[in-house]
Amino acid sequence: MAEMQKYTQEGFEKLKQEYEFRTKEERERIKVAIAEARSFGDLSENAEYDEARNEQAKNEARIKELDELIQHAIVVDDSQQDAKTVGLGSTVKVDRNGAEIEYKIVGSNEADPFDNKISDVSPVGRGLLGAKKGDVVQIEVPSGTVSLKVLDVYKA
């Protein structure tokens, strides 16, 4: 059985959109590619056919994975949370050694460090949970202890 995962509403909607895309548009595109590759003749030496079948297998595996994620998702209703306290779905602006950094706290499957979306179970995400504007939090990270001053918290 799949493990329950927390999602923001935005992250859950993205899962559903990808599922819809893969089950409709992508499936149809691959079906057409397979039919076209079949028309080239001998399947035993048909690289296009093999590639299309591999693509189909990958797409079907991702559809199955998305279905599991959607079925076992816990969507956190951030409208019930205090907007001034860091929680799942919060955007928090912090000062780290004079540098302003903005993070969005998301579920672990939504995390994207390149987009400053950090997981609520990561050291920094976990350390910021429950903090309010003006708080200074000390967070243990692999390289030592980091001190972050919360400059602002809001729901975006």
Q: What angle do CA 78, 130, 104 make, to 5 degrees?
A: 55
Residues 38 and 69 placed together within one structural domain of the fold: yes
**Which amino acid, 74?**
I
Contact (CB, 8 A) for 52 and 33: yes
Give the Cα separation of 124 and 43 in Å (integer): 52
How would you write the pLDDT of the chain (156 residues) with one tens digit per residue? 557 888 888 889 999 999 999 999 999 999 999 998 888 777 777 788 889 999 999 999 999 999 998 998 888 876 666 678 899 889 999 999 899 999 999 988 899 989 999 999 999 999 999 999 999 999 998 888 999 999 999 887
Distance CA 61, CA 80 (A): 35
- What pLDDT does residue 42 have? 74
Q: Give the integer Cα–Cα distance in Å for 17 and 22.
A: 9
- Number of domains present in the structure of the chain: 2
- Residues 45 and 111 both lie in one domain: no
Same domain for 70 and 105, yes or no, is no
CATH of the domain at 122: 3.10.50.30
